[in-house]
Amino acid sequence: MAEISSIVILTGAGISAESGIDTFRDAGGLWEQHRVEDVATPEGFARDPDLVLGFYDLRRKALAGVQPNPAHEALARLDAEFSGELLIVTQNVDNLHERAGARRVLHMHGELKSALCTACEMRSPWDAAMSDRPPCPVCQAPSLRPDVVWFGEMPYQMDRIYSALRGADLFVSIGTSGAVYPAAGFVRDARELGVRTLELNLERSEGSHWFHESRQGRAGELVPTWVDEILGRG
C-alpha cells in the first residue's frame, strides 16, 4: 500500500454494537422501537417533548452500563501511534471513542453527554436526565434539549470534515449502513477526490459498491487487524 499520511475514518452504530448499544437498523434496533419522525426530528420534539427527552434520557443512562470494545480500543491505539493526520468522524452520539482514549474525534451528529439550551443556545456537558426540565447551567431557563443532530438539521463541523477529506490518502468507513446523508455521501466525495476507500462492516451496506475495498465481519475483529496493517505490524 502506498505511504499513508492522512486518514479520515467514519464510524456508525455498528462499531458500538459489540459494546451492547443498539444500532438503528438491525433487527430490534432503535428505530424499530420508535418512529424516526417521532423521536429524531425537530417536529417530533415540538409535538411531544416528553417522549423525545425520555428516549434520549434512556440512551444517556445506558452509557454508564457499557464499555468500549476492541474496535474502539484499536482506533484509540491508532490515534496514539499514527504520526500522520487522523480524524475520526463519528455519527454516534455515544462517548465510547473517547472512553477508549481516542482524542481526534468529531461528533458530526452531536453527543448524548452534551445539552443544548434552546433559550440561550449555549452547550453544556450533561450526564443527567432532561425529562424533569432541569435549568440550563448558563441561563437557568428550563429549556435544554439533547445536543444531537436530528433529521432535517445540519450536521456539525461539515467544513472541517470536507477539508479533512480533501487532504486524505485513505477514507475508512466502519459499522455504518450508508443510509443517512451527508455521511453516506463521504465515500463518493472521497473517490471523486482520488482518495482510497475501505469499508469494514458486518455485511454489505448501501454504499459498498463505492468502496475500492469492502471487508465483511465484526468490527471487534476487522478493526484491530486493519490498525495493525496501518501501523506496519500486519
Output the CA–CA distances (angstroms, integers) from residue 23 to 32, 214, 233, in the order listed. Answer: 10, 20, 31
Q: Does 68 bind ligand BV8 (CB under 6 A)?
A: no
Q: Does 53 bind ligand BV8 (CB under 6 A)?
A: no
Q: Does 72 bind ligand BV8 (CB under 6 A)?
A: no
Q: In this chain, which of 50, 203, 213, 229 binds ligand BV8, going by CB under 6 A?
A: 203
Amino acid at 60: R
Q: In this chain, which of 4, 5, 29, 101 binds ligand BV8, going by CB under 6 A?
A: 29
Q: Which stretch binds ligand BV8 (CB under 6 A): 44-52, 126-134, 169-177, 190-198?
A: 169-177
Q: Does 27 bind ligand BV8 (CB under 6 A)?
A: no
- Is residue 97 part of the annotated active site? The answer reads no
Q: In this chain, which of 44, 68, 70, 155 binds ligand BV8, going by CB under 6 A?
A: 155
The count of chain residues that interact with ligand BV8, using the rule CB under 6 A, is 35
116/122 Cα distance (integer angstroms): 6
Q: Which residue lies nearer to ligand BV8 by CB, 29 or 167?
A: 29
Q: Does 175 bind ligand BV8 (CB under 6 A)?
A: yes
Taking Cα atoms as reference points, which of 132, 135, 136, 133 lies closest to residue 123?
136
Q: List b or e across 33-62, with b for residues whose CB sees 16 or more CB atoms inside 10 angstroms.
A: eeeeeebbbeebbeeeeeebbebbbebbee
Cell of 143: 429549556
Q: In this chain, which of 4, 5, 25, 85 binds ligand BV8, going by CB under 6 A?
A: 25
Q: Which residue lies nearer to ligand BV8 by CB, 18 or 73?
A: 18
Residues 6+ apart with CB under 8 A from 106: 87, 88, 89, 90, 156, 157, 160, 161
Q: In this chain, which of 219, 226, 227, 230 binds ligand BV8, going by CB under 6 A?
A: 219
Q: What is the DSSP string of 55-109?
A: HHHHHHHHGGG----HHHHHHHHHHHH--SEEEEEE---S-HHHHHT--SEEETT
Catalytic residue among 34, 109, 209, 212: 109
Q: Which residues are catalytic?
A: 109
For ligand BV8, the binding residues (CB under 6 A) are 12-14, 17-18, 23-26, 29, 40, 91, 93, 109, 148-155, 175-177, 179-181, 183, 201-203, 205, 218-219
